[in-house]
Chains A and B, each alone.
Chain A
Amino acid sequence: MVFPTKATGLSWTWTVLAGMVTFTPCGAALAGDASHKVAAGRLDAPTLTALIDQAIQARLSSEKVTPAPPADDAEFLRRAYLDITGVIPPADKVAAYLDSKQPDKRARLIDELLASPHYGRHMGDIWQELLLVQRDIFSRGLPAEPLADWFAQGFNSNKPWNQQVADLLTSTGTQQQNGATTLFLALRSRDKLTDTVCRAFLGIQLQCAQCHNHPFTTWKRTDYWGMAAFFAKVDDGAPAKLFKGLTPNVVEASTVRTKRLPDSALKSSPRFLGGQTPTLNSNDPYRPVLAQWLTSEQNPYFAKAMVNRVWAQFFGRGLVNPVDNLRDDNLPSHPELFDALARQFARSSFDVKYLVRAICSTQAYQRSSTATKESAEADVPYVSMTIKVMTPEQLFDSLATVLGPPEHPKKGGGKKAKAPSPVSRAGFVEFFRPGEGADQGAYPAGIPQVLQLMNSEWTAKISAFVNRTVRGDRSPARNNEILFLATLSRRPTAAESRRLEEYFQANSSNPTKAYSDIVWALVNSSEFTLNH
């Protein structure tokens, strides 16, 4: 063993981190243990996992707080599925996993989920939502799926993150040719692009400095408009094309565009944040220069911003919180750990699956979200798992996993004139989208969304689901168990079983209705809609 097996708290962590800081390229300090595969300054995933747990435990110990116990298999299964692939596990996978006796089944599950195409789609959904928040009204009709699909491909093939971002920033072509250009077709002014790029990829809220020097940081108006100038040559085609359903072509023009500048704009040549001016000729393209600087291993914000986002995706809060606000006066909960993770992420060639694997393998990630008396009172991060709210995409996909996708309403409605439900995935997501700036820990749905979940046409499909799932030759207890596995990804407790049996017996004259009532309650429960 290279590292001590017993954690000695703070001192051990410091030793490891200090070791990494003074690390020599050929790994001399750690020579002698091939199994850790440490090479060229990079830690493998298991080592990174141990590092994370050590750092978290160190703080818990110093604050004398006992963490919550580990999550049981059902809790972990559902959480991992939702966090990595964006959807609850299908019913057939649940029992198989819960009953599996493989000692390393959690590690295998993580690998399986990372290899699933749903992983890429989930990440694509997240990044498309993140980047298009400020889309302008002209682009309302522009579909976001091409951008999500483009990201999905990149994440599934584990394209290095710096490469993905560079490709995104320098993208050209129509949306059909290159889904990444959706960014430039949706954010058609350089101030929106600057706000978005800085927030999403650097974790910096630069937008205050658009009009005046930032009140709380050192960013100035000149910084803002220097960065914005990198987008000065983006030509996204006339807006009229979007209205007419034509496909605009995004190109990097040879000269600077001057349209669509807000009143607050300052004339500026491109300048990196922090003041350096790149050497640019007047007909050089600007965006590749920005991309290179932004995604560089030397850029202190780039790796940190992504590490923080990925961390928040799994833990429900960033190491720096709020997630996109890396500032001197907004410190990470675990500063040395944050630095170490950023360094390792960069050294891994910005390997996202590596980062995800390391995080999901930690004890901290696999902690239960059930409150203990201590965890409820203690205000220390990661003492237990934070309960997260499902994103609209996760909710739609999870409901569809149970009920099948919603149907389009029939023409010439039935006796009840019901309002048209948002029946497409995009419509559902639009309807359930939480307000801007909402955090994952706050329940976002309002009355209209809840009414939809309780009473919409989609819930009529519950009986079809029941008919293909339950069997008359099975006991009600066994049927109820299957319904639980399909929705809550666990088996019912004895008390729950009894309650459901009572209910079934009292309503056994119409078994389909009885089981449908049970499923209705299950999919409307907080346990279903929350990611715990």
Chain B
Amino acid sequence: MDVLQQLVNGLSLGALYALIAVGYTVVYGIVQLINFAHGEIFMIGGFGALAVWLLFPAGNVSIWMLPLMLFGGVVAAVGVALLTERFAYRPLRNAPRLAPLITAIGVSIFLQELIRLFYGDIPGFPDSKRAIPFPQIEYVTGPAFNMGGLTIQRAALFTLVALAICAGLLYVFVNKTRLGRAMQATSQDPDTARLMGINVDKIIMVAFALGAALAAVAGLAHGLRYTNVDFRMGFLAGLKAFTAAVLGGIGNINGAVLGGLVLGVVEGMATFIPGQFGGSAWKDVWAFALLILVLVFRPQGLLGARVVDRA
């Protein structure tokens, strides 16, 4: 039963990684850029949701706040992602690949510090040394469900359901719609896509926006689950999600979802490693050890890389 419990914990953690990882993979599939600022987009999604909550009379925890907060998070994340694309990455479209990569790291630091600047202005909230408490919304947080010894946190369940819905919508969008087909075409051959009348700049913006929207969902889920948000939270989450994307095969959307879930489960199962190497202190080590193993033995990832389409 313990194994089952850790499996559930791992899956819900993995769902969070998966939601963020999709953003890495979609953008990489189209512009071959590892957008290291994507973790910060996730963080901004969380803060956007918090900001909407703060706009309303204090202490409102009813369930109808949830869609409003989600909307706020998505707007903030998509807005910031599009701005970074327009002003940081687009001018470097034809530069050597290292230039946008370094820029992405710069953007990441810039966004973290930008959010930190707001800390002092939020009434009643602590300084930058402490995390900001995230509102607890009825139904999606609160007492955990108990099923025959298995404990499932409500927020964890929320994350899993959110991933299932997002992954389903994403699949339909990429495979069944005109814009999705244009995205596949652009990722396979941008020049030919242009000659088919596809506005490649627009497709790149769609890719950034899509990734940011899912990251915002993850940001909200993270806030509900860990009951706080923090300007630094995007760093490690982003790194883990990047790992998940590489694990599944970077550029492959299904792979990102699978990679996230696998990574989460591995972290969960790390608890069972005996002695000092087990437990939560070492879970990051095992997660990144898995990444190294995959890179050595299957560099294209679990599902193969570089194609934003069927595995």
Do these two chains interact? no
